[in-house]
Amino acid sequence: MRHFLDINATSPDDLTQILAEADRIKAARAGQKRGMADAEQVLAGHMVALIFEKPSTRTRVSFDVGVRQMGGQTMVLSGSEMQLGHGETIADTARVLSRYVDLIMIRTFEEGVLHELAEYADVPVINGLTNRSHPCQIMADIMTYQEHRGSIQGKKVVWSGDGNNVCASFLHAAGQFGFDMVFTGPPTLDPEAVFVEDARAKGVNVTIERDPVAAVKDADLVVTDTWISMHDSQSARERRHNQLRPYQVNEGLMKHAKPDALFMHCLPAHREEEATSAVMDGPHSVIFDEAENRLHAQKAIMRWCLGL
Ligand code: CP
């Protein structure tokens, strides 16, 4: 049994194997008519619990569709509707769910909940986002980069804006896939030092550059995310917007990247805030490929977890 809890908790060989499988799964569905299940019904007879303690569009729909395309069934649960939200321990919840389902995906606030669930579950657990990481998203992002531009190894990835949970998973990926990472944003919103140090310890260059133009120079990939994450207080909205406005990804900033640079955003986006529509809908953007690849990457992750 394998859990998929974080990119830095999964070996580079396994990550590479998952991405190769995701490419294969995507290719197998290419040209297939809508409404058809996968030829390989590997999840037939399997029940997958999808637990959401935070809102979701992409994660919820892509996991649900992915399981069904592979012949399995899903049970979508909200934390507040479960006893989990009313005092039952995570450990007991994990033990009980393990008697009913074959796989658990959870989106939660504190990563401690994810780790406790994984510790006590007898079935694989997948991290569908916590306040500190979002590994499924970054697997889709690496898949997307590589299908457009080839290997990401040695490339320059620039994160502009808030050093949030998605940025943290990019730093995990820098260490595992061997690409350089530049963070550009205000000092108060730097990624946690542990993420930067872990990536550096794996031999990759991680740079903090306050000037967004200098940061983006010759970038292969520019990434941003919403200025206020789901777990951030709305009371800080005005201050954060003022701090982050210089880091907006717009056409002027993208001109400093390589001519064939890609632009990514995991979505949902607040258009004209962290990125302009001209960039999001422009020639560098692969944002909807990223969203699609959640489906293929997660199918590969589920198969890896279950050894199928
Ligand atoms: N990118 C992402 O995880 O989207 P959702 O919050 O809609 O699931």
- Measured by CA distance, the residue closest to atom 1 of ligand 1 is 266
Query: Ligand 1, residues 50, 56, 223, 274: which to mutate, most atoms within 8 A of Cβ?
Result: 56
CA distances from 306 to 1, 17, 29, 59, 81 (A): 6, 14, 21, 19, 27
Q: What is the mean pLDDT of residues 211-218?
A: 98
Element at 78 (helix H, strand E): strand 73-78
Q: For residue 299, what pLDDT band results from cuts at 50, 70 and 90? A: very high
Please tell me the distance between residue 203's alpha carbon and the centre of ligand 1 in angstroms: 30
Q: What is the pLDDT of residues 44-83, one digit of tens each?
A: 999 999 999 999 999 999 999 999 999 999 999 998 888 7
pLDDT of residue 82: 80
Number of residues assigned to the chain: 308
Q: Would you state the structure tokens that stand for residue 265, as one six-digit string? A: 């955003």
Residues with CB under 6 A from ligand 1: 56-59, 129, 137, 266-268
Helix-then-strand count for the chain, H and E: 12, 9
Q: Residue 76: helix, strand or coil by DSSP?
A: strand
What is the pTM for the complete model shown? 0.96
Please tell me the distance between residue 81's alpha carbon and the centre of ligand 1 in angstroms: 20
